[in-house]
């Protein structure tokens, strides 16, 4: 029975003796207080490194996803422009017949100026079909005042930021000036028309709320002196992430039109965000690596101080492998529990990041995450389990390497000298 127990004990990763030696190493004596300090700093360094990495990755994931949702909610997934050719009804019918799960709307957009009393601001006029389901849903979800039913000819919907900046309210009259010119006895003058405000919307995306005005397609064509053949086709998909796939299929129907997706419009932005995220991951990983050096120095000092004990263990029959495994386990235990603690701390912090931001802003009178710069009213955070798993594996791997480096030198120690004069 004893032989069976020994065989079973030899087959496990760490034997009872190795675990016992490791646990004793983790509780240094009073005269080894310096080792305790190094162990504490190793633990705190790895824990904070993992926590900060999770917090930053969660905020960047949240920022990317929040902006993506805003962009997808405010813009069409695919836009087809005439590009000098008339978009005929056969082309539209072909799209509708081949793809039943999409929504198509005719629109026209252009740049112009809104004039109110002595104030003026350059904005984008977006002409939309006021009967389109997607447009109605968008306005109903984001409306703060007014009535969607009043959105008809000679009326507009404006963003809340624009309304605030120009001191506008529902029912007010405004003048819109386009880049089109009309001939007058005084020469060519920019075309200008008067509209009433049917409602005010607020998307939470400040850049959008202060630079967009919705008007009917008929009004947009009129103020820009265009006709129906100049309209664009805006397409909404069930899955916006498949926009590029649909784009290639639409191009096969007619290559004369200019087709672009929401991803094409924001490609440089998302590429920059991806690069920034990867760089931040690399930089913050260095915190964990630096903290792991404390494990190396701590174990190195511990092994030097334990030379006599190691010699005695060898004399008693414990081989080099078992001794190395016991000291490796010492460092690895610090790294493992520090990683787990860091994940818990980082997750809790990431889940409450907005509350913490408000608290710090109130206490220290600081404007953290200003909405006019980042286009979002709240600090976003989204915990990604895959990212946490990668961080966990990375931290464990770094801790394992840091623990193995000093432990492997034990076999090179001349332990017989330690007992020579005992």
Residues 6+ apart with CB under 8 A from 242: none
Four-residue CA torsion sign, 125, 127, 130, 132: negative
pTM: 0.66
In DSSP terms, which residues pair with 183 in a beta bridge?
Answer: 188
Average pLDDT of the residues in 245-268: 83
Residue 205 sits at the vertex; the CA angle it makes with 268 and 135, to the nearest 5 degrees, is 100
In whole angstroms, what separates CA 227 from the centre of its chain?
42
Q: What pLDDT does residue 7 have?
A: 40
SS3 of residue 152 by DSSP? coil
**Tokens 């900060």, residue located:** 52
Confidence grade of residue 196 (pLDDT, cut at 50, 70, 90): very high
102-115 pLDDT, tens digit per residue, is 888 888 888 899 98
Report the distance separating Cα 180 and Cα 175, nearest Å. 14
The continuous run of DSSP H or E covering 421 comes out as none
pLDDT tens-place string over residues 199-213: 999 887 777 888 889
Measured over the CA atoms of residue 375, residue 380, residue 386 and residue 389, the dihedral's sign is positive
Distance CA 48, CA 40 (A): 12
Report the distance separating Cα 232 and Cα 213, nearest Å: 17
Beta bridge partners of 79: 234, 260
**What is the DSSP secondary-structure string of 236-274?**
E-SSGGGHHHHHHHHHHH-SSSEEEEHHHHTHHHHHHHH
Is the pLDDT reported for residue 6 higher than 50? no
- Return the pLDDT at 158: 93
In sequence order, what are the beta bridge partners of 188? 183
Give the pLDDT confidence score for residue 118 in this predicted structure. 76
Tokens of 52: 């900060």
Q: Tell me what percent of the residues of the chain surpass a pLDDT of 70.
A: 88
Q: How confident is the model at residue 376 (pLDDT cuts 50, 70, 90)?
A: low
Environment class of residue 375 by beta-carbon count within 10 Å: exposed (0-12), middle (13-18) or buried (19+)? middle
In total, the chain counts a number of residues equal to: 422
Which residue would you say has higher pLDDT here, 210 or 276?
Answer: 210
3-state SS string for 184-227: ECCEEEEEEEEEEEEEEECCCCHHHHCCEEEEEHHHHHHHCCCC
Please give the mean pLDDT across all residues of the chain: 81
Residue with tokens 């495994």: 325
Mean pLDDT of 398-408: 86
In the block, which residue shows the tokens 């690895």? 332
Kindly state the tokens that stand for 381.
Answer: 């955070």
For residues 198 and 150, is the Cβ–Cβ distance under 8 A?
Answer: yes
Least confidently predicted of 39-48, 219-228, 271-280: 271-280
């Amino acid at each position: 029975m004893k032989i069976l127990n020994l065989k079973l004990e030899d087959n496990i990763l760490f034997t009872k003796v190795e675990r016992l030696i490791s646990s004793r190493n983790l509780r240094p004596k009073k005269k080894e207080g310096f080792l305790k300090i190094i162990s504490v700093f190793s633990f705190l360094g790895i824990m904070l490194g993992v926590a900060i990495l999770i917090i930053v990755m969660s905020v960047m994931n949240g920022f990317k996803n929040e902006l993506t949702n805003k962009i997808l909610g405010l813009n069409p997934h695919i836009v087809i422009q005439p590009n000098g050719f008339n978009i005929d009804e056969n082309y539209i019918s072909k799209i509708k017949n081949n793809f039943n799960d999409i929504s198509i709307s005719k629109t026209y957009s252009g740049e112009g100026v809104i004039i109110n009393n002595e104030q003026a601001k350059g904005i984008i006029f977006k002409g939309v079909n006021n009967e389109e389901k997607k447009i109605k849903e968008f306005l109903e979800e984001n409306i703060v005042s007014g009535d969607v039913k009043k959105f008809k000819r000679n009326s507009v919907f404006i963003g809340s930021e624009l309304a605030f900046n120009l001191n506008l309210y529902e029912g007010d009259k405004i003048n819109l000036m386009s880049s089109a010119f009309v001939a007058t006895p005084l020469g060519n003058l920019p075309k200008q028309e008067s509209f009433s405000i049917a409602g005010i919307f607020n998307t939470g995306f400040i850049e959008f709320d202060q630079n967009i005005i919705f008007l009917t397609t008929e009004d947009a064509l009129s103020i820009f002196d265009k006709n129906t053949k100049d309209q664009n086709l805006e397409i909404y998909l069930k899955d916006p992430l498949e926009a590029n796939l649909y784009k290639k299929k639409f191009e096969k129907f007619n290559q004369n039109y200019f087709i672009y997706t929401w991803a094409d419009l924001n490609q440089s932005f998302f590429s920059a965000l991806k690069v920034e995220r990867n760089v931040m991951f690399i930089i913050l990983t260095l915190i964990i690596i630096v903290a792991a050096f404390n494990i190396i120095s701590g174990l190195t000092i511990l092994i030097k101080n334990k030379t006599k004990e190691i010699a005695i263990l060898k004399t008693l029959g414990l081989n080099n492998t078992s001794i190395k495994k016991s000291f490796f386990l010492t460092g690895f235990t610090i790294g493992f529990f520090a990683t787990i603690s860091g994940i818990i701390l980082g997750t809790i912090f990431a889940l409450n990041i907005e509350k913490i931001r408000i608290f710090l802003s109130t206490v220290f009178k600081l404007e953290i995450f200003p909405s006019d710069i980042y286009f979002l009213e709240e600090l976003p955070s989204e915990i990604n389990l895959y990212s946490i798993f990668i961080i966990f594996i990375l931290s464990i791997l770094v801790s394992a390497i840091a623990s193995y480096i000093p432990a492997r030198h034990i076999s090179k120690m001349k332990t017989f000298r330690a007992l020579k004069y005992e």
